């Protein structure tokens, strides 16, 4: 206001003085009316004269009273623009009849900022500050701009825990650009303020641990807050005080209050907080009644509420059972109604009587009418076809609203892998529920955020004394429907959530593998029936060309292993027991060709084997997302079997190699030898068509403990069975247990089972065989494995996901089911980290310690993980 009066006074004085120099007398006691003959502007550099005149509202020919409020208002209007340091409005001249006036606007423009800079900040922080401040080159600099910018910078650092941050704006004239300045914000963050201790005073009946846990963002330096930030956030502190009172309310102390709280510095940057509370009396529930309920009976509602007479008056738990927010999969009254379409349902608990330590509560219900889904809107799918998203959602126009179906839709969209999983689950930006109480309808808007889903894999692994490099590409949003569209090839047609992958693996002359796969998640386009196709070829050699194996083992002849095959499967989503279950049926064919192969992996070293099998898999996955699941479970059981060829066989061989008929398959002795000890059954005859049945089970459960801290538990089991004990176990399809699980060059023929803390395959037993010159081979026919992991995220962003983990696991492998002992496990523990990059996939490193490794020098193991989970 003082500045405005000064401007008005200056304008009036200037106008009077200038008028007198021109011979124009202005009597301030007798204002006169004039017609505006014209306006000129003086002193402007950045704004044109037309722009400034438009700001005043002056128009030629309009009538003005001088002096008067019109003139004062013009000066005030220009001053409020904050573009000028000084503004004056003067009479330039009058016409001969002295009824028209020409005015001149004299301004002094504020200097413009040619450059904004920051000092005392990190490069990443500089970018954040620029986005928050929205400062542009050429903008004006005023006291208002200076104060606003400094306050924003202080708030930014306060959120990071730098409560004592100071900011000073340093202004320098630009020596190159006329009437321009350079502004630098000098930031002194000081030390980060962290909470050292929180002392609770007056909590006689509620434990300190429970009170400390209730404060979500304000944490002291205690052992149980290891995974929490200790910085003090002034913005979150009031909410934490409310959470503190909720802990008392949960224990029945409804009258609890905070008497005072004191903050003080124990040392620079370390804060102490004393909170004095008054608990009050402890209360109990007496009578709980319901009014307004017509859809569900009082007995049904009481069963969900779970409150009995004499229970502690726990308001917090009562509200969770009414409105939700309790434990995972715990039902509440609101969800009961909302699952039946009652979106406008409302319940209000009212304390009707308080007598001594007993409280009567009446639940007043307004059921409303059922809401029907009207419009389902998908936003943000710039690349992925809308039909791909719509087929994932369970909310359909015309259906009654269901809270469960809505939550399932969010989960299914997140599990697609094409969108940011964190963004779609964010209630502020990921979705909107728009009810209309007039028409009893509701619109649902899903706001998806596209993220790169295709992956380029360039990786390496060490296994079997050799380094194996892998190159591959996986298009996880491929579209066969757009193949003929030339404009869609950028670089390949995308948008239908199909998967097309190609992989090439080699270590040079010794090992080469090529594979290709295709997945269509919705084969018919109307039902979630998936089609999976894959083909592969692998070749391993050891020859006189100077390979690694020749150097160490002195091979003198070529040794070759070739594996090629094809598989196809169809998956169908089931409705029973629930629609999380998927049933897969598949056929696969593999051919193994061994030429003088000697590694101890297989029972024989020369021959050709065919593997034709049928697979049946029942799977259920209810996790909330793929990369970093916080809740849900993942279960699968798999049965793989071949025809029982040996049960159909009615012949054997004599000492001369001639076929001899037998009455039954039981009469065939596959281990019979001649007088020289040679096998009567050659490996080519015995294993030309391999036979087996195999069962695998895998169960993983994810539980959110505190915040984003997740407990993952997993149990695995596998057994390779036989139809005929005389024929024995299959030489292929066994289990190699131990190590990091990177398959190296053993891509097919065995299941690779990781168990950290032990060398690769070191837990796999051997058995004797007369079909290879080594006399033994891997014989992992049965295994079990148990894992417990604590996971905590470091970064959860579309561009990358990083989380750290602590693991405990154990398992073992046996050659025969008769030797199986589930308590004879090899134990390990360790730490690790994972990073998921959309263009590369999952990468990780673990350090594990194998407690039961007989070789103590091998107990500490580092494992590198590429593209798979343990």
Task: Please give the average per-residue pLDDT across 98-118, as a whole number.
Answer: 85
Gap between the terminal Cα atoms of the chain: 70
Measured at the CA of 826, the angle between CA 822 and CA 831, to 5 degrees, comes to 125
| Phi (first) and psi of residue 411, to 5 degrees | -65, -40
79 and 4 in contact (C-beta within 8 Å)?
Answer: yes
* Coil/strand/helix, residue 424: helix
Spatial distance between the Cα atoms of 67 and 8, rounded to a whole number of angstroms: 11
What is the β-pairing status of strands 776-778 and 782-796?
Answer: unpaired
Of 211-220, 348-357, 435-444, 508-517, the one with minimum mean pLDDT is 508-517
Task: Please give the average per-residue pLDDT across 474-486, as a whole number.
Answer: 91
Task: Indicate the average pLDDT of the chain.
Answer: 87
Measured at the CA of 58, the angle between CA 53 and CA 59, to 5 degrees, comes to 105
Q: What distance lies between CA 513 and its chain's CA centroid?
A: 33
In the predicted structure, residue 166 carries a pLDDT above the cut 50: yes
| Phi (first) and psi of residue 367, to 5 degrees | -75, -35
Query: What would the pLDDT profile of 246-258 be if each residue is shown by its tens digit?
Result: 999 999 999 999 9
Give 212-253 as a DSSP string: HHH-SS---S-GGGTTS--B--TTTHHHHHHHHHHHHHHTT-
- CA-CA distances (angstroms) from residue 858 to 599, 808, 811, 850? 22, 18, 17, 8
| Phi (first) and psi of residue 82, to 5 degrees | 65, 15
HSE-up of 304 (CA within 13 Å, CB side)?
22
352 and 362 in contact (C-beta within 8 Å)?
Answer: yes
As given in the structure block, the two tokens for residue 296 are: 């569900």
In sequence order, what are the residues at sequence separation of 6 or more whose Cβ sits closer than 8 angstroms to the Cβ of residue 300?
A: 336
In sequence order, what are the residues at sequence separation of 6 or more whose Cβ sits closer than 8 angstroms to the Cβ of residue 113?
A: 135, 137, 138, 139, 140, 141, 180, 181, 182, 183
Q: How confident is the model at residue 14 (pLDDT cuts 50, 70, 90)?
A: very low
In the predicted structure, residue 743 carries a pLDDT above the cut 70: no
Task: Please give the average per-residue pLDDT across 806-811, as a whole number.
Answer: 96
Tell which residue, 70, 58, 188, has the closest CA to residue 118: 188
Spatial distance between the Cα atoms of 131 and 128, rounded to a whole number of angstroms: 5
Of 81-90, 450-459, 540-549, 757-766, the one with minimum mean pLDDT is 540-549
Query: What would the pLDDT profile of 42-51 be if each residue is shown by its tens digit?
Result: 877 777 888 8
In sequence order, what are the residues at sequence separation of 6 or more whose Cβ sits closer than 8 angstroms to the Cβ of residue 176?
A: 114
**Run of H or E residues at 714:** strand 709-721
Task: Please give the average per-residue pLDDT across 96-118, as a whole number.
Answer: 85
Identify the pLDDT of residue 543. Answer: 58
Spatial distance between the Cα atoms of 702 and 631, rounded to a whole number of angstroms: 5
Identify the pLDDT of residue 16. Answer: 38
Identify the pLDDT of residue 467. Answer: 67
Spatial distance between the Cα atoms of 826 and 845, rounded to a whole number of angstroms: 21
Task: Please give the average per-residue pLDDT across 464-478, as a whole number.
Answer: 78
Identify the pLDDT of residue 756. Answer: 94
In the predicted structure, residue 197 carries a pLDDT above the cut 80: yes
Identify the pLDDT of residue 20. Answer: 40
Identify the pLDDT of residue 314. Answer: 95
Task: Please give the average per-residue pLDDT across 140-161, as a whole number.
Answer: 89
Tell which residue, 257, 704, 326, has the closest CA to residue 318: 326
As given in the structure block, the two tokens for residue 88 are: 């004056």
Give 767-829 as a DSSP string: EE-SSSTTSEEE---EEEEEEEEEEEEEEE-SS-EEEEEEEEEEEEEESSGGG--TT--EEEE
8 and 76 in contact (C-beta within 8 Å)?
Answer: yes
Spatial distance between the Cα atoms of 721 and 817, rounded to a whole number of angstroms: 9
Task: Please give the average per-residue pLDDT across 168-172, as a whole number.
Answer: 92
566 and 591 in contact (C-beta within 8 Å)?
Answer: no
Measured at the CA of 599, the angle between CA 595 and CA 605, to 5 degrees, comes to 30
Q: Is 345 exposed, middle or buried (0-12, 13-18, 19+ CB in 10 A)?
A: buried
In the predicted structure, residue 832 carries a pLDDT above the cut 60: yes
HSE-up of 696 (CA within 13 Å, CB side)?
17
* Phi-psi group of 417: left, alpha or beta (phi > 0 → left; psi -120 to 50 → alpha; rest → beta): left
Proportion of the chain above pLDDT 70, given as a percent: 91
Q: How confident is the model at residue 4 (pLDDT cuts 50, 70, 90)?
A: very low
Task: Please give the average per-residue pLDDT across 536-557, as a whole number.
Answer: 59
Q: Is 746 exposed, middle or buried (0-12, 13-18, 19+ CB in 10 A)?
A: buried
Q: How confident is the model at residue 747 (pLDDT cuts 50, 70, 90)?
A: low
671 and 679 in contact (C-beta within 8 Å)?
Answer: yes
Measured at the CA of 365, the angle between CA 364 and CA 369, to 5 degrees, comes to 160
* Coil/strand/helix, residue 58: coil
In sequence order, what are the residues at sequence separation of 6 or more whose Cβ sits closer than 8 angstroms to the Cβ of residue 818?
A: none
The size of the chain, in residues, is 870
In the predicted structure, residue 357 carries a pLDDT above the cut 90: yes
In the predicted structure, residue 714 carries a pLDDT above the cut 50: yes
In the predicted structure, residue 179 carries a pLDDT above the cut 90: no
Query: What would the pLDDT profile of 580-592 be if each residue is shown by its tens digit?
Result: 999 999 999 999 9
As given in the structure block, the two tokens for residue 621 are: 């996955």
Q: Is the dihedral of CA 796, 802, 807, 810 positive or negative?
A: positive
- CA-CA distances (angstroms) from residue 246 to 251, 254, 479? 9, 9, 52
Q: Is the dihedral of CA 576, 579, 580, 583 positive or negative?
A: positive
Identify the pLDDT of residue 830. Answer: 96
Cis-peptide into 491, omega within 30 deg: yes
In the predicted structure, residue 498 carries a pLDDT above the cut 90: yes
Beta bridge partners of 212: none
Query: What would the pLDDT profile of 369-394 be if each residue is shown by its tens digit?
Result: 999 999 999 999 999 999 999 999 99
Residue given tokens 């002034």 in the structure block: 234
In sequence order, what are the residues at sequence separation of 6 or more whose Cβ sits closer than 8 angstroms to the Cβ of residue 509?
A: 541, 543, 545, 547
Query: What would the pLDDT profile of 609-662 be if each residue is shown by its tens digit?
Result: 999 999 999 999 999 888 899 999 999 999 999 999 999 999 998 888 788 999
Tell which residue, 586, 585, 574, 582, has the closest CA to residue 618: 582
Q: Which of 163 and 466 is assigned the larger pLDDT? A: 163
Spatial distance between the Cα atoms of 673 and 653, rounded to a whole number of angstroms: 10
Spatial distance between the Cα atoms of 623 and 111, rounded to a whole number of angstroms: 59
33-70 as b/e, with b when 16 or more CB fall inside 10 Å?
ebebbebebeebeebeeeebbebbebeeeeebebbeee
């Amino acid at each position: 206001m003082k500045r405005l009066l000064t401007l008005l006074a200056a304008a009036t004085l200037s106008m009077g003085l200038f008028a007198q120099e021109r011979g124009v007398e202005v009597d301030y006691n007798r204002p006169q009316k004039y017609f505006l003959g014209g306006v000129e502007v003086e002193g402007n550099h950045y704004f044109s004269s037309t722009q400034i005149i438009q700001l005043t509202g002056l128009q030629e020919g309009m009538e003005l009273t001088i002096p008067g409020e019109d003139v004062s208002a013009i000066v005030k209007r220009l001053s409020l623009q904050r573009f000028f340091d000084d503004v004056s409005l003067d009479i330039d001249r009058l016409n001969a009849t002295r009824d028209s006036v020409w005015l001149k606007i004299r301004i002094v423009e504020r200097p413009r900022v040619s450059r904004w800079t920051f000092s005392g900040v990190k490069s990443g922080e500089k970018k954040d500050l620029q986005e928050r401040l929205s400062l542009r080159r050429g903008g004006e600099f005023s006291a208002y701009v200076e104060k606003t910018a400094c306050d924003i910078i202080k708030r930014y650092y306060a959120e990071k825990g730098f409560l004592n941050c100071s900011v000073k704006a340093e202004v320098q004239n630009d020596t190159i650009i006329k009437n321009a300045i350079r502004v630098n914000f000098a930031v002194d963050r000081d030390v980060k303020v962290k909470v050292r201790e929180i002392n609770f005073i007056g909590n006689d009946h509620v434990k300190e641990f429970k009170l400390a846990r209730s404060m979500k963002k304000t944490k002291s330096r205690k052992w149980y807050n290891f995974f929490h930030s200790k910085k003090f956030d002034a913005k979150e502190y009031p909410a934490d005080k409310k959470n503190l009172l909720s802990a008392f309310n949960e224990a029945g102390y409804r009258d609890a209050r905070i008497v005072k709280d004191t903050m003080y510095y124990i040392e620079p940057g370390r804060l102490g907080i004393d909170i004095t509370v008054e608990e009050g009396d402890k209360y109990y529930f007496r009578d709980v009644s319901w009014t307004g309920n017509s859809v569900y009976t009082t007995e049904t509602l009481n069963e969900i509420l779970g409150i009995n007479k004499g229970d502690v008056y726990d308001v917090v738990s009562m509200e969770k059972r009414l409105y939700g927010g309790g434990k995972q999969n715990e039902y509440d009254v609101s969800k009961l109604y909302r699952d039946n379409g009652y979106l406008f349902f409302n319940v209000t608990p009212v304390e009707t009587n308080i007598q001594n330590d007993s409280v009567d509560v009446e639940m007043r219900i307004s059921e409303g009418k059922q809401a029907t889904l009207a419009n389902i809107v998908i936003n943000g799918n710039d690349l992925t076809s809308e039909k791909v998203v719509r087929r994932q959602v369970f909310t359909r126009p015309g259906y009654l609203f269901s809270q469960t179906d809505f939550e399932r839709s969010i989960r299914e969209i997140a599990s697609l892998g094409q969108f940011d999983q964190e963004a779609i689950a964010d209630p502020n930006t990921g979705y909107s529920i728009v009810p209309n109480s007039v028409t009893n309808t509701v619109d649902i808007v899903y706001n998806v955020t596209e993220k790169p889903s295709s992956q380029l894999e360039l990786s390496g692994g060490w296994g079997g004394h050799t380094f194996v490099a892998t190159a591959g590409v996986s298009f996880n949003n491929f579209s066969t429907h757009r193949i003929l569209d030339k404009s869609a090839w950028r670089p390949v047609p995308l948008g239908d959530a199909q998967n097309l992958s190609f992989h090439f693996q080699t270590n040079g002359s010794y090992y080469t593998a090529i594979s290709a796969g295709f997945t269509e998640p919705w084969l018919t386009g109307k039902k979630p029936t998936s089609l999976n196709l894959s083909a592969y070829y692998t070749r391993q050699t050891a020859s006189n060309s100077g390979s690694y194996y020749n150097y160490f083992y002195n091979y003198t002849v070529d040794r070759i292993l070739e594996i090629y095959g094809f598989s196809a499967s169809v998956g169908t989503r089931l409705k029973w027991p629930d629609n999380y279950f998927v049933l897969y049926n598949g056929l696969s064919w593999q051919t193994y060709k061994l030429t003088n192969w000697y590694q101890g992996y297989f029972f024989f070293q020369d021959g050709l084997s065919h593997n034709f099998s049928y697979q049946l898999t029942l799977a259920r996955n209810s996790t909330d997302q793929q990369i970093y699941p916080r809740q849900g479970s993942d279960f699968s059981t798999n049965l793989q079997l071949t025809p029982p060829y040996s049960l159909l066989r009615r012949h054997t061989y004599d000492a001369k190699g001639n076929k001899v008929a037998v009455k039954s398959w039981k009469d065939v002795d596959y281990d019979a030898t001649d007088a020289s000890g040679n096998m009567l059954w050659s490996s080519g005859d015995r294993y030309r068509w391999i036979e087996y049945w195999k069962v695998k089970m895998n169960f993983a459960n994810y539980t959110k403990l505190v915040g984003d801290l997740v407990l993952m538990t997993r149990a695995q089991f596998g057994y390779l069975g036989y139809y005929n004990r005389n024929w024995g176990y299959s030489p292929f399809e066994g289990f190699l247990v131990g190590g990091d699980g990177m398959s190296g060059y053993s891509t097919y023929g065995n299941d690779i089972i990781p168990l950290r803390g032990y060398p690769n395959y070191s837990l796999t037993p051997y058995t004797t065989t007369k079909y290879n010159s080594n006399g033994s081979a891997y014989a992992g026919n049965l295994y079990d494995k148990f894992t417990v992991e604590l996971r905590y995220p470091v970064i959860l962003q579309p561009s990358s996901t990083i989380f750290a983990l602590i693991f405990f696991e154990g398992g073992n492998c046996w050659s025969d089911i008769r030797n199986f002992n589930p308590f004879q496990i090899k134990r390990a523990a360790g730490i690790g980290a994972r990073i998921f990059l959309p263009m590369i996939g999952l990468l990780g490193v673990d350090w594990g310690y194998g407690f039961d490794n007989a070789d103590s020098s091998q107990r500490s193991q580092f494992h590198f993980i590429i593209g798979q989970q343990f």
